[in-house]
Amino acid sequence: MGKPSSQKFFQTALQHIGLAPFDADGTAPVPLPAQRSSTVRFKSVAALEQALQSRAHGGKTPPVYGRGGLDTHRALEEVFCTLEQGHGAFLLPSGMAAISHALFSFLQQGDHILIADCVYAPVRGFANQMLARMGVEYSYCPPTVEAFEQALQANTKVLYIESPGSLLMQMLDVPRLVEWAHAHDLIVMTDNTWGSGYSYQPLALGVDVSIVAGTKYVGGHSDLMLGAVVTRHESHMKILHDAHYAIGFAISADDCWLALRGVRTLPLRMEQTAQSALEICAALAAWPEVEQIYHPAWPEDPGHALWQRDALGSNGMLSFAWSLSPGQTRVFVDSLRYLGIGFSWGGFESLIQWVSTDALRPHSYWTDSPQGKRDAQGQAPQVLRLQIGLEAPEALIEDLMQARAQALQHTD
């Protein structure tokens, strides 16, 4: 394990990965062109044999078929390896595809996986629909060593976590979880879409496999679907490669190109949205009906100390629980002008998601909280998740305030 790289390193490195090489006459465009090809030609039988031998040993270059990608794909793989400080990266057509690729690579019939109960909700659907069909057992646990220890089985192979958590942004003590998991010979995987390598580097904290939905902050413009699986172990490369190639995962060169374009501004976007999110938190904290703000960079967040210890920065994601009624919350959401209603995040635009009680119920972080205990008594506070984009924070605060004023006037 090494220390996370500084954000200043990324600010420069991300501007130089994937630039077009110079031609024989000494000229070159700045961005690498998107290399679109379904077929790879070989100059000789020897060249083909060399490519086949490279693939047989888990290599990624040169490809033998267009599905393996060309230079545009290689450049984006380098981006993810740089951001995550990993040994190798594999590109997938979505974040969920990246999750399924990582799990398919290391699990087989008869295995058991421990899953933190704060993970991205579709992971539960994947477990129910795919892992169960494969004969893989799974247990959801509060993301603590004590809970995982109780659920550990002789056939447990993988610990799957997400930090911060998907809806309430709780920080996990990842180094402690890694130490425990490795003592039991478990492979540790984490969804790192929140940090995307720039704000959080789980591989540097000892995690074995990091998974990123490049759809979010890496792409940054809400115009592509993308996932990546990054490992810090050379020994994992062939395992991940074989599953990737066998299942037939592939992404287009155009999506790679869009991601390369988007990542140039990743440092600026992450830093701007992180600062704006703190300003939004400060505004929300002044509202008497707001009971809890969930944002690890916010000093009042329960996971703030872990965030200070382990993270490099933050982003524009935050949630809050408030005491207004469902009817008032509906008016609030519908009255917003700049925050669109949507499930995604990481783009340039601000979004809001009204989190359902059903979505919160599996989260021990929620059910063990004062808000969650009230929920059990039928007095549920409403939870809203905000994705803060690149609009002026003053405009967003004004929008939130006018929507709140309309909500307060509403009676159920």
Catalytic positions, please? 67, 120, 191, 216
Instruction: Say how far apart CA 56 and CA 82 lie, in whole Å.
Output: 25
Report the candidate in 1, 60, 70 with the shortest Cα–Cα distance to residue 238: 60
Residue listed under structure tokens 């490099």: 312
Within its chain, how far is the Cα of 258 from the centroid?
Answer: 18
Quick check: helix, strand or coil at residue 383?
strand
Buried b (16+ CB within 10 A) or exposed e, 296-323: bbbeebebeebbeebbbbbbbbbbbbbb
- DSSP line for 270-304: HHHHHHHHHHHHHHHHT-TTEEEEE-TTSTTSTTH
Instruction: Say how far apart CA 302 and CA 306 lie, in whole Å.
Output: 9
Instruction: Say how far apart CA 83 and CA 305 lie, in whole Å.
Output: 23
CB neighbours of residue 334 within 10 Å:
11
Within its chain, how far is the Cα of 126 from the centroid?
Answer: 16
Instruction: Say how far apart CA 41 and CA 144 lie, in whole Å.
Output: 52
Q: What is the DSSP letter of 189?
A: E
Q: What is the DSSP letter of 202?
A: G
Based on the number of CB atoms within 10 Å of its own CB, is 27 exposed (0-12), middle (13-18) or buried (19 or more)?
exposed
CB neighbours of residue 254 within 10 Å:
12
